[in-house]
Structure 1
Amino acid sequence: MTDSLATLWTQQQHDAAPLDAEALARADARFRRRIRIRDSVEYLAGLLGAGIFANIAVHAADWEIRIACAAIILGTVVVMRNLWRRRPKAPDAALGAASHAFHRANLVAQRDLLLSVWRWYLAPIVPGMVLFLLAAARASAEHMPLAVALAASGVAGTLVGAMFWGIHWLNRAAARRLDVAIAALDRDAQ
């Protein structure tokens, strides 16, 4: 029985085939394509959000709401710049196809990006959202009881907080999937 376990163990060591250059190039191209699609959706959402808040700012009579909208638009621009700067690098044409280390580095960079989403993606929007909620509560208090205006602002703030937490949770889940992919790539390299 010991001999059969030893034989089985040694056969398992030879079963693992390293990732060949073509499979690595396909995996890297597929990964970068998914990131490009994700980023395109983010850019469109940022453009739409900026447009909505620009429209609110133009039509708002309250100067505090206009300032809050400008802060949200500025935060959106910062997020879009951050997203552009953190996109995965393409392999250098002079060096040829993507290497194992290059692909792994792109996966690790994207995982780290997803884990730090609060710092570079959500935080730039927070000041403008807080200003907007406070300005909307103050402006609403001129037309309704203060308690109702504060309650409405609190509900809106809770919804925004829940949305931010959802974004954080989804990015953490995506980072865990990238961890699995990185571990599989490391196993294939051995």
Structure 2
Amino acid sequence: MSDHDPLRDLWAGQETGNFVMPLEDVRRKARDFQKTILRRNMTEYAAAALVIALFGWTAITVPEPIVRAGCFLIIFGALYVCWKLYGLARSASGAEMDAAQNLMTFHRAELLRQRAALASVWRWYLLPFVPGMAVFLGGVSFAPDNPAPLAVKLVILLFAAMLVAALFYGVWWLNQRAVKALDGEIAALEGAGEDWPVDS
């Protein structure tokens, strides 16, 4: 049989070109992404306010100094997380988006910025709570008015620490899933083409 295949030659010789996503689709994706980030951050700030209120009330009502110290450390941890959340993962404003020279470049940079924040969540989101939780759980477990034997106190402390560790792992795992989802978004955006019109 001949190696010449007209259909194959026709397919191989056609011009492919890069697929370019319409600019309005990029604009819509960028706006939806920023709205999602804003909602997430508002939820995080509300959760931090709840943590501060709860442990602030505990620090006022519980006389045990170690427990109170743990409460204050947790409050400081929550404030630090809010500060880092704003610095690392705040949502971009509409003015920033409108001022972007190239919308695709802007959206890609925002995806990368949020990905970096989520990938390092263990350092700025979870670790700041560790000292406060350790002191708080230790103070509760070994409070002077706790009549339980030492072995029971140790078991209670270990069990509480395992629950907190499981919670921290769950938060880390969910954020790693979000990182993978952002990787997919970034790859899809990069695969859609590099030559985008300058947004005016």
Distance change in 2, residues 1:61/1:13 (3 Å): same
Once the two structures are TM-superposed, the CA of residue 24 in structure 1 deviates from its matched residue by: 1.1
TM-score, scaled to structure 1: 0.90
Query: Which residue number corresponds to residue 139 of structure 1?
Result: 143
Q: Does 1:188 align with 2:192?
A: yes
Q: Deviations over 1:157-184 (max 9, x none)?
A: 1000000001100000000000000000
* Runs (5+) with no aligned partner, structure 2: 195-200
Question: Structure 1 CA distance, aligned partners of 2:132 and 2:96?
Answer: 39
Q: Does 1:166 align with 2:138?
A: no
AA aligned opposite 1:131: V
AA aligned opposite 1:28: A
Q: Do the aligned residues in 1 keep the contact of 2:55 with 2:75 (CA within 8 Å)? A: yes
Question: Structure 2 CA distance, aligned partners of 1:122 and 1:68?
Answer: 15
* Runs (5+) with no aligned partner, structure 1: none
Distance change in 2, residues 1:185/1:138 (3 Å): same
TM-score, scaled to structure 2: 0.86
Q: Do the aligned residues in 2 keep the contact of 1:141 with 1:149 (CA within 8 Å)? A: no
Q: Work out the number of aligned pairs and report it.
A: 189
Question: Structure 2 CA distance, aligned partners of 1:158 and 1:72?
Answer: 18
What percent of counterpart residues are identical?
A: 34
* Matching of residues 27-176 of structure 1 within 5 Å: 27-86=29-88, 87-90=90-93, 92=96, 95=99, 99-139=103-143, 142-176=146-180
Q: Do the aligned residues in 1 keep the contact of 2:97 with 2:103 (CA within 8 Å)? A: no
Question: Structure 2 CA distance, aligned partners of 1:140 and 1:176?
Answer: 47
**Higher share of residues assigned helix:** 1
Distance change in 2, residues 1:94/1:178 (3 Å): closer
Question: Structure 1 CA distance, aligned partners of 2:14 and 2:172?
Answer: 43
Query: Larger C-alpha radius of gyration, 1 or 2?
Result: 2
AA aligned opposite 2:132: G
SS at match of 2:163: helix
SS at match of 2:128: coil
Query: Which residue number corresponds to residue 13 of structure 1?
Result: 16
